[in-house]
Amino acid sequence: MTQDDTICAISTPHGIGGIAVARISGINAIRIVDNVWKGKTLKEAISHSAHLGTIVDEQGEAVDQAVATVYRAPRSFTGEDVVEISVHGSLWVQRELINLLVRQGCRIADAGEFTRRAFANGRMDLAEAEAVADVIASSSRAAHRIAMSQMRGDFSRRLTSLHDQLLELASLLELELDFSEEDVEFASRQRLLDLAQEIHQVVSRLASTFATGSAIKDGIPVAIVGETNAGKSTLLNRLLHEERAIVSDIHGTTRDTIEDTIEIGDTLFRFIDTAGLRDTDDTIESLGIERTIQKISDARIILWVIDATEDTGTISRGAQRILPHSTDGQILIVAINKTDIPTANTTLLSSALKGTIPDDVMTVDISAHTGAGIDTLEKLLTKASGTTDITSGDILVTNARHYEALTRATESIDRAIGGLRSGLSGDFIAQDIRETLHHLGEITGTITSQDILTSIFSRFCIGK
């Protein structure tokens, strides 16, 4: 797919900065820039070369000194001729440059159109194209690492390997159908079953990484829960290194959830300070407690804060209010707070916990007021996030569209496995294999619709 027109846009963030970059892509990109350029003629420039010159208007008046970098097709981001012009970050200079380019025949690019052209011209598949947006939006080292891996094609290569295995499986089944009258068997049913199960294992494992991948991308959700005055808001402020939540000795001060994010190590965490759990007749506070219960269900990590100056009754009350709302896959961390206070019952509370929570639950003694034990808590949070278990070469799915396609692919290969085990006719099994191929093809864009493409690229910024 090629485009006959030439597009342009400012690719750097809107606003004033030291440098602003305009990107021009299309069949006439170099000619159009030459029309507003005073310096070395760009049509004579080799690919991947930068040149100092001046942007001039139709009257020959200088607009700004600039650097033009030339990328010739097909060795460019879009696969077309591309010129990137670096000018000073003045808003007037940016507007005048784009207006000049439009008057010379450019069209202002749609959102994500540069990346869409890269996909259309075969420079990247759809999964790699979507990773471009993820790289730009990444807010932690872990999220950036995942996005870079996908943009480099690691995920796509894994899908290509699955595609080739599925094609082999489908081909063997369909060959048997073509020679059914000769009673020829091109591969034993056990061999086909083993191959199908191998494919199922890889597809289902990829789908299973979505919970971790999406949490890393958006921030690991951590619900800070406990009774009133346990020090939850003080702990939130300590973790965020700022006074984000109101702290008071008055019970029920926090009546709604407060959320904020911070990067600990390589991982972004989304901390949610919740209303204290207690029996109350206050309507507004009751609504806050209802939201707390919902946040417990939604969180990946539950951080249960216990007041070290309370008696052991706080353990049983907290367990009754928190544990019934936790789900499989969530990780519970217990933080015994206020250990700096002389009346702290740390040892007694720790003993009471042993009969209430599983032995493998992580516990830590802290003082949110002084900061004691916070380093240890941060290490436990990083461990609980699962990011330390990610090794080089691991692929994590972070895109909901990919997860949906993988889930459907798992279902169709499941049916194929069932058919192979039951001796179902090969044509039905082959249909399930083809359906699996279809769902995987939706991820890379080998099978997709214009509506899906429009939806995906509309979420990109204009200059990308």
pLDDT tens sequence across 34-89: 999 999 999 999 999 999 999 999 999 999 999 999 999 999 999 999 999 999 99
415 backbone dihedrals φ, ψ, rounded to 5°: -65, -40
The whole-number pLDDT of residue 230 equals: 87
Cβ atoms 233, 247 nearer than 8 A: yes
Strands of the 62-71 sheet, one edge to the other: 37-38, 49-56, 62-71, 82-88, 19-25, 7-10, 107-108
Per-residue pLDDT, averaged over 182-207, amounts to: 81
Identity at 460, one-letter amino acid code:
F
Mean pLDDT of 334-355: 88
Q: Is the pLDDT of residue 152 over 50?
A: yes
| For residue 288, pLDDT beyond 80 | no
Cα–Cα distance measured from residue 336 to residue 13, given in angstroms and rounded to the nearest whole number: 45
- Are residues 172 and 192 in contact, defined by beta-carbon separation less than 8 angstroms? yes
Look up residue 69 and give its two tokens.
């970098």
In angstroms, the CA 364 to CA 344 distance is: 14
Helix axes 189-208, 210-218, angle to 10 degrees: 20
DSSP one-letter code for 13: P
DSSP state for residue 43 in the 8-state scheme: G
Q: In the structure encoding, which two tokens stand for residue 17, read together?
A: 């900065």
CA distance 377 to 269: 13
Predicted confidence (pLDDT) at residue 279 exceeds the cutoff of 80: no
194 CB neighbour count, 10 Å cutoff: 13
In contact, 249 and 301? CB cutoff 8 Å: no
Which percentage of the chain shows pLDDT scores above 70? Answer: 84
What band does 2 get if pLDDT is binned at 50, 70 and 90?
very low
Q: Is the pLDDT of residue 19 over 90?
A: yes
Q: How confident is the model at residue 252 (pLDDT cuts 50, 70, 90)?
A: very low
306 contacts 315 by C-beta, under 8 angstroms: yes
Superfamily of domain 215-389: P-loop containing nucleotide triphosphate hydrolases (3.40.50.300)
Give the other-Cβ count within 10 Å of 159's Cβ: 25
> What are the sequence ranges of the domains in the chain?
7-125, 131-209+397-445, 215-389
pLDDT score of 165 more than 70: yes
Q: Class of the 131-209+397-445 domain? A: mainly alpha
**β-bridge partners, 226:** none
End-to-end Cα separation, the chain, in angstroms: 18
Q: Kindly state the average pLDDT of the residues 216-240.
A: 87
Q: What are the two backbone dihedrals, phi and then psi, of residue 206, each rounded to the nearest 5 degrees?
A: -60, -45
The whole model's pTM is what?
0.73
Rounded Cα distance, 369 and 235, in Å: 8
Query: What was the pLDDT predicted at 373?
Result: 94
Domain 7-125 part of CATH 3.40.50.280:
no
Residue 64 is predicted with a pLDDT of: 96
Decide if pLDDT at 204 tops 90. yes
Higher pLDDT: 140 or 375? It is 375
Residue for token digits 């009350």?
317
d(CA 415, CA 421): 10
Q: What value does the mean pLDDT take over residues 283-304?
A: 71
- DSSP code, position 120: H
218-223 mean pLDDT: 89
Choice among 248-257, 263-272, 359-368 with the minimum mean pLDDT: 248-257
**Above 90 in pLDDT, residue 374?**
yes
DSSP class per residue in 152-186: TTHHHHHHHHHHHHHHHHHHHHHHHHHTGGGT--S
Q: Does pLDDT of 251 surpass 50?
A: no
- Weakest mean pLDDT among 143-157, 285-299, 409-423, 429-443: 285-299
Residue 357, pLDDT above cutoff 90 = no
Token pair of 151, please? 């943009």
Mean pLDDT of all residues in 327-336: 86
User: What are the C-alpha distances in Å from 58 to residues 26, 53, 55, 181?
Assistant: 22, 16, 10, 77
Mean pLDDT for the chain?
85
Q: What are residue 333's DSSP bridge partners?
A: 303, 362
Q: Is the pLDDT of residue 220 over 60?
A: yes
* Model pLDDT, residue 258: 76
Q: Average pLDDT, stretch 115-127?
A: 91
Q: Is 188 helix (H, G, I), strand (E, B) or coil?
A: coil
Give the amino acid at 296: I
Mean local confidence (pLDDT), 417-437 = 87
Of 279 and 355, which is predicted with more confidence? Answer: 355
Report pLDDT for 73.
95
Mean pLDDT of 257-267: 83
| Cis-peptide, bond into residue 74, ω within 30° of zero | yes
